Amino acid sequence: MSNAKLPQDTCVLVTGGCGFIGSHTVVKLLEGGYQVVIVDDLSNSSEKVLDRIDQIVGDEAAERLTFYRADVNDRTALTEVFDENDVDATIHFAGFKAVGESVQKPIEYYSNNIGNTLTLVDVMREHDCKSIIFSSSATVYGDPDELPLTEGSPKKPATNPYGWTKWMIEEILGSLVVADPAWNVVLLRYFNPIGAHPSGLMGEDPKGIPNNLLPYVAQVAVGRRDAVHVFGNDYDTPDGTGVRDYIHVMDLAAGHVAALAWMAGRTGCEVFNLGTGKGTSVLEIVKAFSAACGRDLPYVIEPRRAGDVTANWADCTKAREVLGWEAEFGIADMCRDSWNWQSHNPNGYEG
């Protein structure tokens, strides 16, 4: 995408496009007129999401979507994808993402997340495709010195291997631009994505016990779990529970499309925070979800978890001023849409 093209003339490769954030971004891309190629090995996602995408966008838009079941670490498979499609830009979501598991399996996390990125950018380079949006994370800020966090806030040492992979991949992509100024890199640092597509057809479907708060709360609401586990109520926050900047996954998806449109024809490396700019506590989330599902959800206070920070939320001024993007949805919307998804799909994509 060294030269700006219209969306209908732009082919976007989405790695991990069947996952939670990836699938919602694919919907936004198709609705925006883009041609989309998904590469996903389905290790933590379901192929059934492809049918849901078709239902949401309609047959005509769905014709612009191509799916490859492949591991991004597989150079031969990835080369085939680039040989068969004239890819203009890549949005890179594919990676292991469970914080706790990363502590137990550091080799697997470093090998997969960093390895697949190195394979991807090398194959991109071979095909003269040098535009990439990377799915980064607010974890790179570590335990913040002050809030809100801006893109200029210092990166801190990560507290787990998952966080380190995001940290290191940002460095790798920045180095690409230093070595070859023709590269066009956007690092999107997400805060805490929750919610679901408002249709109720797509949402977060973690395999096993959810690692993130919202899917766990949703599973309590449908009776799959007994109670919400709240880790720590002695933080220096208004109600003692941790505070995070939760962002609706549809707002996050729109942020990727805005970044893609903005970066067309540019080079260099830019960083953007994607959040709402507001902090919400764990107990506030439980209360909001209770309102969405119409009953009080039980919760249990547990000891603090190692590695959890007290609070973080974003300053998203740069994304608003540069990308023309701003989060539209509030916590009530996020919980409503998450409940709509979970209540109609109590076992996720499996039924």
162 is catalytic: yes
Q: Quick check: helix, strand or coil at residue 257?
A: helix
Beta pairing partners, 66: 37
H or E stretch including 14? strand 11-15
Q: Give Cβ neighbours of residue 10 (< 8 Å, ≥ 6 apart).
A: 1, 34, 35, 88, 89, 260, 264
Catalytic option among 109, 162, 190, 246: 162
Q: From CA 87, how far away is CA 100, in angstroms rounded?
A: 35
Please name which of 71, 84, 3 lies closest in space to residue 39, comparing C-alpha atoms: 71
Q: Per the omega criterion (within 30 degrees of 0), is the bond before 148 cis?
A: yes
Q: Buried b vs exposed e over 85-113: b needs ≥16 C-beta within 10 Å?
A: bebbbbbbbbbbbbbebbeebeeebbebb
Q: Give Cβ neighbours of residue 267 (< 8 Å, ≥ 6 apart).
A: 2, 177, 181, 182, 183, 184
Helix 115-126 × helix 75-84 angle, to 10°: 40
Q: From CA 284, how far away is CA 123, in angstroms rounded?
A: 45
Query: 229 with 302: CB under 8 angstroms?
Result: yes
Q: From CA 225, how far away is CA 215, in angstroms rounded?
A: 11
Beta pairing partners, 190: 137, 274
Q: Give catalytic residues, as residue numbers.
A: 162
